[in-house]
Structure 1
Amino acid sequence: MTKPSSPPLTWTLSGFGDEIDDDPDVQAAVLNALGARHIEVRAAWGTNIVDLTDDRLAALKGVLDRRSTGVSAIASPIGKVPVALPVEHEVERLGRAIRAAHALEARYIRLFSFYPAEGQDPDDIRDDVLVRMRALADVAEREGVILLHENEKEIFGDIPRRVLDLVEAVGSPALRLAWDNANFVQCGVRPFTEAWPLLHEHVEYLQVKDAVASTGEVVPAGSGDGELLETVTALRDTGYDGFASLEPHLADTNALGGFSGPSEFGRAARALRTLTDRIGVQLS
């Protein structure tokens, strides 16, 4: 008797809407056309998510509801600031990000782990970073949200060793990892070979972009040195069934984000589907 095959895994497709357009209605329309019913919100109408008023948040919720589009995560800039700022600075901004998360019915909030001073060794700011991340995690625990630390170049948690130290030292169920292959490449790290073995147990969310090691140029998934195929295969094999959020950065990159436009965003989405089709994972 033939054993019935298991149904394929399904990952939930999402993407950074402000990489498409400033208008959230256009953001959601393009994502819908690409087969996504979720959006990662970093900015709307040209305003960062932590700076939207209550009225604007309500208007954004109305736009997304009309498009039957949920919010996969709040892509906040929390922690993308100098560690020298007082603890209260980012705790207050996290409060605004949490307000947005509740208004938009999102569970996840992306954040970062602070910049050292110019010329300072990131290892020297470890204690200050942990104090701040613990304070942020305490707030998240009380508010019922999960913080997703993104491995971003030039912050404390840019390389695998420090990312692992951070998440284990804070030790909070409200602090997990958003995985970004391209950012590891830009730090001189082979993402699957060097980072995955250390960090995979803490990964909660996939941000999708790739990069070329020799130049740092961001390219569609599978076109660079980010070991995307190996990574998504390993995620599949762990039974991962979460979000795959496109952050293409194909037209412009800056300190607070990037831009792609509808056409390039579509190219990034097709590249991801090529990979997931290859490993037998569905995107919806």
Structure 2
Amino acid sequence: MSTTTASWALSGFGDEIDADPVVQVAVLQSLGANHIEVRSAWGTNIVELSPEQLDALAAVFSERGMGVSAIASPIGKVDAGLPVEHEVARLEAAIAAAHRLDSRYIRLFSFYRAEGTEAASIRDAVLSRLRALAALAEREGVILLHENEKDIYGDTPERVLDIIESVGSDALRVAWDSANFVQVGVRPFTEGYAMLRPHLEYLQVKDAMAATGGVVPAGEGDGQLLETLTALRDDGYAGFASLEPHLADVTSMGAFSGPFAFGRAARGFASLTNQLGISPR
């Protein structure tokens, strides 16, 4: 094991473990995480939780000393042709959740396009919608984290950079996902890291096989995790590393791993960070 040279805040998608947030927290804490990324609780998406449910969720976290790293919203996982008001309303709900759960980060995406449609054809629609969302985030004091994902506008490093530079808001930053880059034919570290590092705010941890697109634990795929983590350590990164294993059922709105597979993913990530002297906090 290497001498400790960096400390990152370990988090994870609780609903990949279980629908019950009590179980989510128990498993995450057993794996050394003191934070949770909230996508859903009790089977209900974070942007659909009532104020009373948010209060109950906040109580679960407070009683167990669990911080919230980010609100993993589904915003932007819709067709770019929908009116901007549709996602503004959902962002308002995500912001309410972020404030109630004491988190400054909200994950979002950059809109789907119809099958067979070129990405360039939705660029203007995407940018106008993200500018509106970023303006709301600025007013509310939260930071939006754009996650690269296949089939949305911002699926490649070049288009992610286009989004960040064109919107030009301090309230819109990058959530890095190596597996998602692999699934669109990108070598993440080689082709994207230097380009996006100035805007990289948050690390989502999963890996994938280039040949099949299948998701595997960190370090077992083609996501160049070791190179990326090494560079982040050397660059002085000190933020969140959020486990998003995707090792069982996967849908367009999320995924499920279960406690056992989630633990396997956590151990895979730990084997990499231990080599690099990165400790969880």
Q: One fold, TM greater than 0.5?
A: yes
Q: Distance in 1 between matches of 2:204 and 2:83?
A: 29
The one-letter amino acid paired with 2:86 is H
**Contact 2:4/2:277 (<8 A) preserved:** no
Aligned to 2:54: 57
**Paired residue for 1:162, among 149, 159, 173?**
159
Q: Is 1:214 aligned to residue 211 of structure 2?
A: yes
Q: Distance in 2 between matches of 1:70 and 1:204?
A: 18
Q: Distance in 2 between matches of 1:258 and 1:88?
A: 27
User: Size of the alignment, in residue pairs?
Assistant: 279
Deviation at 1:247, TM superposition (A): 0.1
Q: Distance in 2 between matches of 1:213 and 1:251?
A: 18
The one-letter amino acid paired with 1:199 is L
Residue by residue over 1:224-248, the C-alpha shift from the partner in whole angstroms, topping out at 9 and shown as x without a partner, is: 0000000000100110000000000
Structure 1: which 4+ aligned runs deviate by more than 6 Å?
Answer: none
Residue by residue over 1:1-49, the C-alpha shift from the partner in whole angstroms, topping out at 9 and shown as x without a partner, is: xxxxx96210000000000000000000000100111000000000000
Aligned to 2:13: 16
Equivalent residues in 2 for 1:200-211, closer than 5 Å: 200-211=197-208
The one-letter amino acid paired with 1:91 is V
Aligned to 1:87: 84
Equivalent residues in 2 for 1:1-284, closer than 5 Å: 8-284=5-281
Q: Distance in 2 between matches of 1:251 and 1:209?
A: 13
Q: Distance in 1 between matches of 2:86 and 2:173?
A: 21
Q: Distance in 2 between matches of 1:7 and 1:28?
A: 26
Q: Distance in 1 between matches of 2:275 and 2:120?
A: 40
The one-letter amino acid paired with 1:270 is R
Q: Structure 2, unaligned stretches of length 5 or more?
A: none
TM-score by length of 2: 0.98
Aligned to 1:3: none
Higher relative contact order (CA 8 A, sep 6+): 2
Secondary structure of 2:154's match? helix
Secondary structure of 2:70's match? strand
Identity of aligned residues (%): 67
Cα RMSD (Å)? 0.9
Q: Distance in 1 between matches of 2:173 and 2:268?
A: 26
Q: Distance in 1 between matches of 2:145 and 2:83?
A: 21
The one-letter amino acid paired with 2:149 is E
Q: Structure 1, unaligned stretches of length 5 or more?
A: 1-5
Q: Distance in 1 between matches of 2:14 and 2:59?
A: 16
The one-letter amino acid paired with 1:82 is D
